[in-house]
Amino acid sequence: MGQVWRGRDTLLGRPVAIKVLRSEYSEDPTFLARFRAEATHAAALSHPNIAAVYDYGEVPADDGGEHLAYLVMELVEGEPLSTLLREEGPLSPEDTLAVLRQTAEALAEAHHVGLVHRDVKPSNILVRPDEQVKITDFGIAWSAGSVPLTQAGQVLGTPQYLSPELAVGGSPSPASDVYSLGLVGYECLTGEPAFAGDNAVAVALKQVNEEPAPLPEDLPPGVRELVDVAVAKDPDERLPNGDAFVAAIDRVQAGRPLDDVVPSTQG
């Protein structure tokens, strides 16, 4: 819903990214609320794996002009993970774990302050040339005290990465982000989304009713188990939050079993 421009902060002499709400949305109260929420949520977070927000502003319409809403952010020199996967294909297990760990750390920071991102997907994960990851777009993030951004019965998020509980209109939780990040990991390893369909409803139904195709057998068992646990249909059977995801990745990288971080309902 926004266009991103490269700009320069003339006061501090630094390059910035300027996200401008598209003109077709700038007079819509719902989209304005989401845009303001993105600024508020991201500004409340400070973490090396979260793109920083520096400023937000609105310029009211004047003399027949358009209402302008803008967000000034950290300029991240790099590419969206979605672009890298499209142009370069699947990542190695090692690189996949590196991306997942950094993203999980960013989500853990959000979870600590009661935020659920709700739209974790490759296009919202930026990868710099030095392989540092930055997560962006908190526009539909949820918190217990936030103003509702939808009417009853509406679903926010991207169907290919939507958790089953959100697909049926349930309440968001940190485990919802874990599911989405697990699907990002699946796509990193295979080069394809776990679920596809002719339309958004078809994909959402698959999230609820179907399991992803098994990961290739030649992948390390620990990596396959990590993704499988993250994308469990029942939130109570997943890793519960970003902190647990980080701990699980650390165990996989160390060659240790996931017994201590996997919920007991997994057996």
Catalytic residue annotation = 119
Q: Strand runs (DSSP E) across 119-238, as ranges?
A: 125-127, 133-135
Phi, psi of 223, deg, nearest 5:
-70, -45
Amino acid of residue 127: V
Rounded to whole angstroms, how far apart are CA atoms 163 and 203?
A: 11
Longest dimension (CA), the chain: 66
3-state percent breakdown (helix, strand, coil) of the chain, nearest 5: 40, 15, 45
Contact 172, 215 (CB under 8 A): no
Rounded to whole angstroms, how far apart are CA atoms 108 and 115?
A: 9
State both tokens at 82. 């979605």
Rounded to whole angstroms, how far apart are CA atoms 61 and 51?
A: 29
Burial (CB < 10 A; 0-12, 13-18, 19+), residue 144, is exposed
